[in-house]
Amino acid sequence: MEIRRQEAVVMNTECVSVEGLSVSYLSPTGRVDALRNVSFKLYDGELVTIVGPSGCGKTTLLNAIAGLLNFRKDVLMSGKIFVKNPKSIGYVFQRDALLPWRTVIENVTLGLEVRKFPEEKRKKVALDLLKMVGLEGYENKYPHELSAGMRQRVALARAIAYDPEFILMDEPLGLLDAQTRMALQDEILRIHMKTRKTILMVTHDIAEAIILGSRVLVMNSRPGSVKSEYVVKLPKPRSALGSRLDPEFNRLYRLILDDLKEDMRMGQLDLL
């Protein structure tokens, strides 16, 4: 196993690179291969999406990049992962993973608190961000008082608050209803335009992958590997609705759907 996590290289616009990554989980009943020979690169300021069927190891891939698998004894890894600044990563999960006993603002400031920023500074950053994600006035509410969509906005604000260079998103809109999902797709596009963060987002919704990504990586499953890559040439600034009406959208949708058909025939694609 060789994992390279080095500090910033001057003038290198590569933010993340994954080379020949294979990951297996060891369990008493045997070995499960989650990823096999995955390779791709992310450049600074890019928003790249990964689309693939459930069980194709998307979450494993993100966790490996985030360094969350490094200390696990039941995980076997080979290949190389390079992250320009491994100490500066944000993560948004499918379930918001907010701390239920903390108010909205206390959740948003979590990363700054861990980094020991002074209280006033934390508060100021959080209030600005809450304004940006449209949650002004909700700072003292508790997570259970918010809707699922609002909670996910808080999770987005939390991931940006400590200004990480690179943000991982694991199906962040997967549990939302269609309208809320479109609103938050616009939100993510807007945040990306404004902050120019490098974002790697996993989804199983083909439309979402095309609308958000400047590139779409298509994965297939068991074990997961990158099957193909598409550059999305939709005009900018994009919007969730506008992009859907573009012919390019339909062309890509077709191509990606064809890529995923094998898995679909095997009954592993849960698009609905």
Partner 1 sequence: MKPSTSNWKLHVRRLALLMMFLLLWEALAGGIYPLFSLLDPFYSSSPSRIGRELYILFFQENVLKDIFVTLGEAFAGLILGIVSGVALGLLFAYSELVSSTLEPFMSALNSIPRPALAPLVIFWFGIGIFSKIFLAWSLAFFVIFYNTYLGIKSIDPDILNIMRVMNASRLQIMRIVILPSVVSWIFAGLRLSVSYSLIGAIIGEFVGATVGIGYQLIYAEGLLMSDRLYALVLVVAIMGATLVELVKRIESRFLRWRPEIIL
Residues near partner 1 (CB under 8 A) are 63, 66-68, 87, 89-91, 93, 95, 97, 99-103, 110-111, 113-115, 142-144, 158, 162
Cβ closest to partner 1, residue 61 vs residue 66: 66
Handedness of CA 203, 204, 208, 210 (dihedral sign): positive
Tokens 């604000």, residue? Answer: 157
Please state the closest distance from residue 71 (CB atom) to partner 1, in A: 9
Smallest gap from Cβ 116 to partner 1, in A, equals 9
Nearer to partner 1, 153 or 158 (CB): 158
**Whose CA is closest to 34, among 61, 67, 70, 53?**
61
Characterize 62-100 residue by residue with b for buried, 16 or more Cβ atoms within 10 angstroms of its Cβ, and e for exposed.
Answer: bbbbbebbeeeeebbbebbbbbbbbeebbbbbbebebee
**Spatial contact of 220 and 260, defined as CB atoms under 8 Å apart:** yes
* CB 64 to partner 1: min, Å: 12
Quick check: 78 and 16 in contact, CB under 8 A? no
Tell me the backbone φ, ψ of residue 33, rounded to 5 degrees: -85, 120
The amino acid sitting at 120 is E
Q: Which residue has the tokens 């945040």?
A: 191
Tell me how far apart the alpha carbons of residues 69 and 50 are, in angstroms, rounded to a whole number.
20
The SS3 assignment for 116 reads: coil
Q: Which is nearer to partner 1, 3 or 97 (CB)?
A: 97
CB of 4 to partner 1, least distance (A): 18
**Beta carbon of residue 162, minimum distance to partner 1 (angstroms, whole number):** 7
Instruction: Considering the complex, state which of residue 191 and residue 252 has its C-beta at the smaller distance from partner 1.
Output: 191
- Angle, CA 87 vertex, CA 83 and CA 88 arms, to 5°: 85
Q: In the complex with partner 1, which residue's Cβ is closer, 115 or 196?
A: 115
- CB nearer partner 1, residue 66 or residue 182: 66
